[in-house]
Amino acid sequence: MRNTALILIIALIVPALLADKGKNYTKENVCQELKAIGIEKFKEMFTVLYSQKFPNGTFEEVNCVADEMTKLAEKCCKDDASPDCYDKGATEISEKSCGKDSPFPKHPGIEQCCTLQGHERKLCLASLRYSADELPSLIEPTNEEICTEYTQYKKNYSVRYVYEFARRHRNIPAGFVLNATQHHVRMAKRCCHPAVKISCFLEERLQMGSANIFLRFLSNVCNNQVNLKSYKFGLSAYYGNLLGLSFENASAISSRFQSGLEKCCLQPQPECIIEELTSFQKVLCNESKLNAMSEDFQKCCRKPALDTLPCVDDLERQPRQHPHVADPVSSQLCEKVQPHGIDRYLFLIGVKHSSISLPVLTTVLNRIKTTVTACCSSADVTACLTQKESKLKKTTALLSKLDDTCSQYSKLKPTERGETQAQAWVHLTASCCSKRSPAQVCQKLTEDVLKYDDDIGV
């Protein structure tokens, strides 16, 4: 799928933005892409973008807004279309979005956008992003279920799959959703006619195995990037205990990785993230350092670039002990002569814990960072840190307890705690001890455990 098409789809969604920047070439390029890929694929692109944008919307609601935007493109690509066709059409769609009986998805925050007028309203509507908890992953249906669905919805099977897949992978580039859909629909066409062919399904699934593993990895890291507060601190500690790196090296690698995610996860075209991750793999698998790494790590680095990162992500992390963690916390952390003092302090705490998932680790480190940073801004830094010393010790002790729990969570004894607190611990361990835990859910569950720990004590 051409990345220019995907870029221009975004241009259609926010035509006012293009108008403000004086870009008058929209019609010609969009119409060229519409002609090149056909109306069906063009609509699928819109369905991806709106399913990601409105994952709480029904298929009918998302399909409705995708239909409207596709019709707008068709209308404005006619030879006799007026130059302001897109702008007028987008205004009509934005007015329809704000109507009492709007057939479009209902989005948190839309009411505020609807108080605005003209370009401001369109830009506000375009900038809305759904922020509720992640939907569960799309469970792979059986061969028989695929064929039943394909037979029942043959006409719009592809767009229905796009909707379900996109709303569950809402922070990855749209191009990956379209590619996954293309392969899935091809499998259904090949393997369901005239009857269910098991060998055909097996062949197709094996062929897509590597791509599916990468997609799960990408979806996980992009969800973390978009949703986690202080993600860089958790990521630095993660690479520290995964690879046994110093603070400086772990920080450099994690910053490189995160900057790529920040730049590309929400871009519609897949080329951006592919280029960034390929470049990152070269940094991660630096030839001069490979001999010092484990055999398993070296095996991962011998794989193709996009297979290396999921492979490394599956390696066992090891706790790293550092004797230099300040206890009690020193006011020196706040001094400008000690650059990255707080970052280093959080790293030294984080690398000791290798069993908890990144969302849990990041959430606890964010709590510690918030406490220390507040003291660094106070009139009497030493007095503030002394006052908060007990809270900081409790939080780091809780982090160790969470780490131990995740290493052997089947042995958790919730009866040792109050009923509500026990329930919070059970929810946390059941949902968040796996490596690829859902970012928003685990951030919230960890904050709940921290809250009960504040109220009751360890």
Tens digit of pLDDT for each residue in 211-229? 999 999 999 999 999 989 8
Confidence of residue 305 (pLDDT cuts 50, 70, 90): very high
Confidence of residue 337 (pLDDT cuts 50, 70, 90): low
Sign of CA dihedral 341, 346, 349, 352: negative
Q: Find the mean pLDDT for residues 76-87.
A: 83
Give the per-residue pLDDT at 258. 95
Condensed to tens digits (0 to 9), the pLDDT of residues 34-55 reads 888 788 888 888 899 889 888 8
Which residues contact residue 214 at a Cβ distance below 8 angstroms, ignoring those fewer than 6 apart?
306, 307, 309, 310
Confidence of residue 23 (pLDDT cuts 50, 70, 90): very low
Closest to 449 in 3D by CA, of 431, 435, 436: 431
Average pLDDT, rounded, for the chain: 82
Give the per-residue pLDDT at 330. 76
Give the per-residue pLDDT at 93. 84
Give the per-residue pLDDT at 3. 40
Which percentage of the chain shows pLDDT scores above 90?
A: 35
Confidence of residue 307 (pLDDT cuts 50, 70, 90): very high
73-87, 120-134, 402-416: least confident range? 402-416
Confidence of residue 374 (pLDDT cuts 50, 70, 90): very high
Confidence of residue 413 (pLDDT cuts 50, 70, 90): very low
In Å, what is the CA distance from 229 to each residue of 172, 256, 341, 441? Answer: 19, 18, 19, 13
Give the per-residue pLDDT at 302. 92
Give the per-residue pLDDT at 6. 42
Give the per-residue pLDDT at 351. 92
Q: How far apart, in whole angstroms, are the C-alpha atoms of residue 354 and residue 317?
A: 5
Q: Is the pLDDT of residue 335 over 70?
A: yes
Q: Is the pLDDT of residue 11 over 70?
A: no
Sign of CA dihedral 169, 173, 179, 182: positive
Give the per-residue pLDDT at 435. 80
In Å, what is the CA distance from 38 to each residue of 7, 30, 45, 160, 352? Answer: 16, 12, 11, 18, 54
Give the per-residue pLDDT at 329. 74
Closest to 309 in 3D by CA, of 233, 363, 234, 256: 256
Which residues contact residue 189 at a Cβ distance below 8 angstroms, ignoring those fewer than 6 apart?
150
Give the per-residue pLDDT at 60. 92
47-51, 306-310, 416-420: least confident range? 416-420
Condensed to tens digits (0 to 9), the pLDDT of residues 257-270 reads 999 999 999 888 89
Helix or strand holding residue 403 (H, E): helix 381-407
Residue labelled with tokens 């329930």: 423
